């Protein structure tokens, strides 16, 4: 089974326990540079250690599933109960954080080396020591993934992002007008309809993602999995809106996939394993 390390003193200033998990697959062999998956959990969790003890959320077993094994490090911070990342972003105002990955990942590298990991894990205390980064998020962790993605161009670690994986995670803000999605027009609708809708929804998260994919994430493969059936998390309208925007703007690296049979929690592991198997390292 994957080996895990728990780093207990990296405070993200989000009110959560200062626990970051680092997991490596069985058969891991360190390369000259680190490949990282940063996973962001959802709401109502109090510790990433406890999170990985929940069978439906245990991604450590998923790390061992590809054949051949992917030489990747899984890093997972503990977010707040509202899935806010503090220094990593994810507040309800969708503020773009400063000193996010470039502040966090060197601390993780430093604390991890103190554990004297075996087999050795390459240091990633400088962005030049990182090859590729994948952002992955479930449920409310999606807003932290959005915040981190939006730091591309101002954070050298964020510039290493090659893929984003979202698992039933496209929610709006917790309260107020931005908490209620409005269905977008048909992709082939006339421009005045789209102009009106985009103007009214410019601060909604499907629009923030679409604008990022167009402006700063055009080279990033983006996968969003929506549990669209009765047992999903209620992200269908926003996910459909983003799908319409992707089609209208011809954003070819964005892939919105709907699974009516999946549950909100059950969608994570099989889709995570699917993406991990396909990851090009």
| Residues above pLDDT 90, as percent of the chain | 98
Q: How confident is the model at residue 179 (pLDDT cuts 50, 70, 90)?
A: very high
Tell me what the mean pLDDT of segment 116-145 comes to: 97
Residue 23 host element (H or E): strand 20-24
Domains assigned to the chain: 3-278 (3.40.50.1820)
Q: How far apart are CA 97 and CA 187, in angstroms?
A: 32
Neighbours of 264 (CB within 10 A): 20
3-state secondary structure of 183: coil
**Residue 89 in contact with residue 96, Cβ under 8 Å?**
yes
The pTM for the full model equals 0.97
Q: What residues have CB less than 8 Å from 237, skipping those under 6 apart?
A: 181, 182, 183
Neighbours of 106 (CB within 10 A): 17
Of 104, 106, 84, the closest CA to residue 95 belongs to 84
SS3 content of the chain, % helix, strand, coil (to 5): 35, 20, 50
Tell me what the mean pLDDT of segment 224-230 comes to: 98
Q: What is the pLDDT of residue 192?
A: 98
The residues facing 254 across adjacent strands are: 222
Q: How confident is the model at residue 166 (pLDDT cuts 50, 70, 90)?
A: very high
3-state secondary structure of 152: coil
Q: Does residue 1 surpass a pLDDT of 90? A: no
């Amino acid at each position: 089974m994957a080996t895990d390390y728990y780093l207990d003193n990296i405070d993200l200033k989000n009110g959560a326990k200062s626990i970051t998990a680092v997991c490596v697959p069985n058969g891991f062999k360190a390369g000259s540079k680190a490949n990282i998956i940063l996973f962001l959990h959802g709401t109502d969790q109090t510790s990433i250690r406890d999170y990985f003890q929940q069978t439906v959320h245990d991604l450590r077993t998923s790390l061992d599933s590809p054949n051949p094994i992917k030489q990747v490090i899984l890093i997972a911070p503990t977010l707040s109960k509202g899935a806010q990342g503090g220094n990593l972003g994810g507040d309800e105002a969708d503020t773009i954080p400063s000193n996010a990955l470039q502040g966090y990942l060197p601390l993780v590298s430093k604390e991890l080396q103190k554990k004297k990991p075996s087999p050795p894990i390459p240091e990633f205390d400088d962005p030049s020591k990182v090859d590729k980064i994948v952002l992955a998020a479930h449920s409310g962790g999606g807003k932290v993934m959005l915040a981190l993605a939006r730091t591309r161009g101002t954070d050298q670690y964020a510039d290493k992002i090659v893929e984003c994986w979202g698992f039933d995670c496209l929610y709006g803000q917790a309260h107020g007008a931005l908490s209620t999605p409005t269905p977008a027009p048909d992709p082939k609708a006339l421009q005045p309809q789209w102009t009106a809708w985009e103007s009214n929804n410019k601060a909604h998260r499907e629009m923030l993602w679409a604008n990022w994919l167009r402006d700063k994430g055009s080279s990033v493969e983006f996968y969003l999995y929506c549990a669209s059936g009765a047992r999903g998390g209620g992200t269908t309208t926003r996910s459909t809106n983003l799908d319409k925007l992707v089609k209208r703007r011809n954003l070819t690296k964005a892939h919105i996939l709907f699974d009516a049979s999946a549950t909100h929690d059950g969608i994570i592991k099989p889709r995570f394993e699917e993406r991990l198997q396909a990851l090009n390292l």
